[in-house]
Amino acid sequence: MSVELPFAPVDEVIRRNAGDLRVSADAAEELARRIQIRGAELAADAAERADEDGRKTLMPSDFGVEQLVDRADLTLPIAPVDRIARLDIDDTYRVSMDARVALADILEDYADNVAHAAAILAHHADRRTVQAEDIETYFALFE
């Protein structure tokens, strides 16, 4: 599976949660992969909700979002999030710009939670670097 999300913004999300820890490239890659999986799942669920309403355009409400954040406040880029949203839905669906921003916000919160936990795991392991195994351990423990 190719990963749509660039690693640099994912690395930035991990770093803001890691404090003085370093971040391995493998950790950013692993988290980007997990974000992509989660985003595709959320979009598939949103498409079902839109279909129930007789729409082919995904809206923020399909993701359970009522209040949008400002696009400029997001670290994750919108274009790759749009590609992630389309991975597991039919080509007849459209994703509104507001829905893309809503999904990016959800995925960024998701990434922040995982990155924070991974930093705790790295500290617990008495390492100075957040590694892919910390991301993997988070998912083994909590999902």
Going from N- to C-terminal start, the domains of the chain cover 7-142
Query: What pLDDT shows up at residue 3?
Result: 81
**Is 8:76 a contact under the CB 8 Å cutoff?**
no
Query: What pLDDT shows up at residue 4?
Result: 87
User: How far, in Å, CA of 92 to CA of 76, rounded?
Assistant: 25
Rounded average pLDDT per 10-residue block, the chain, 143 residues: 89 97 98 97 98 97 96 97 96 97 98 98 97 97 84
Q: 53-84 burial string, b = 16+ CB within 10 Å, else e?
A: eeeeebbbebbebeeeeeeeebebeeebbbbb
Query: What pLDDT shows up at residue 1?
Result: 66
Query: What pLDDT shows up at residue 129?
Result: 98
Query: What pLDDT shows up at residue 11?
Result: 98
Instruction: Extract the runs of DSSP E, i.e. beta strands, from 1-143.
Output: 22-23, 57-58, 94-95, 129-130
Topology of the domain covering 7-142: Histone, subunit A (1.10.20)
Residue from 26, 75, 65, 69 nearest 43 by CA: 65
Q: How open is the CA angle 23-27-72, to the nearest 5 degrees? A: 75
